[in-house]
Amino acid sequence: MTDFFVHELGVCETVNIGQDTRVWAFAHVLPGAVIGDDCNICDHVFIENDVVVGDRVTIKSGVQLWDGVRLADDVFVGPNVTFTNDRFPRSRQYPDTFPITRIDQGASLGGGSVILPGIHVGRGAMVGAGAVVTKDVPANAVVVGNPARIIGYGPSAEAPRAAQLPAVPQDLIGGAATIALRRADDLRGSLVSTELDDDLPFRPARYFTVFDVPTVDVRGAHAHRKCEQFLVSLSGSVTCVVDDGIQRQEIVLDRPDLGLYMPAMVWGTQYRYSANAVLGVFASLPYDSDDYIRDYETFLEARGLATSAPHMVELSS
């Protein structure tokens, strides 16, 4: 007697299938597939051999999981989502290996979306209905369109703008903070000054600027093991996400006299660059590639939070 359910009109050839999983009518699971516990595999789903599905995954009708697809726990796959695994398909011509397409824990793929081969959709991300995903999707991002572009980090209210925030330091999650800089305005123009030893939480060892970023692209999307940073918008506006693995906040930097302090071991992402945006960044340490954590799952592990799911908190003004 099995501890999973297969409808009388369904075909499940694998023995690697978890407890309380349900395979419904006209679904077909090939023998090499691995399916976790408490999954719901709806009508007219096809699952190939080199496929791994985690626990509590929902796969709605009309979905095909081809070789190379990996779905982590709690993933939702909407109706008629299309996975692909061959960048240059030809009839009866097969690549030596298929790229791995990875959908991380808690991510959702909206109905009719298309996922190109080898794509990585990060933990908690939301892919909108009909989106065509041609690039990796960062953790917690919300993407829509063709090609898919980031429109927010959900669940998220509209991020407060720096112009709406008080000109005093304000503590954020994970030890991050907004910090006001000295500003002088008169008939000759405006000036913002910074005393590096007094105004910043650290003595900078490096400075760089980010500019000419297409509005659809994302910068940052990493954490530092030791390096601290201070971000300030020299021109235009940039939306910044601060994430400690448990909570997440957004702030729009849109004036040069208020910056954002990012301590080490906080995940930072910048997006929604305006066309004229210039972001200045002070760093506490010289460049060191080993100091970067570029994978969100690795970041959570480093903080001892690999099984937790971040939620949004609002930034008070």
How many Å apart are CA 139 and CA 126, to the nearest integer? Answer: 9
Q: Provide the CATH number for the domain formed by 162-312 in this structure.
A: 2.60.120.10
Catalytic residue among 7, 28, 44, 222: 222
* pLDDT digit string (tens) for the chain, length 317 residues: 579 999 999 999 999 999 999 999 999 999 999 999 999 999 999 999 999 999 999 999 999 999 999 999 999 999 999 999 999 999 999 898 999 999 999 999 999 999 999 999 999 999 999 999 999 999 999 999 999 998 888 754 445 555 555 544 577 888 999 888 888 887 788 888 888 888 888 999 999 999 998 766 777 789 999 999 999 999 999 999 999 988 888 888 999 998 999 999 999 999 889 989 999 999 999 999 999 999 999 999 999 987 654 544 444 33
Domain ranges of the chain: 1-154, 162-312
Collapsed DSSP state (helix, strand, coil) of residue 226: coil
The runs of H, that is alpha helices, within the chain are 296-302
Q: Is the pTM of this model over 0.85?
A: no
Same fold, 1-154 and 162-312: no
How many residues are present in the chain? 317
Compute the CA torsion angle 62, 65, 71, 74 (nearest 10 deg): 20
Collapsed DSSP state (helix, strand, coil) of residue 291: helix
Quick count: other Cβ atoms within 10 Å of Cβ 15? 8
Verify whether residue 44 is a known catalytic residue.
no
Collapsed DSSP state (helix, strand, coil) of residue 247: strand
Q: Provide the CATH number for the domain formed by 1-154 in this structure.
A: 2.160.10.10
How many Å apart are CA 145 and CA 224, to the nearest integer? Answer: 31
Tokens (6 digits) for 161: 């703008």
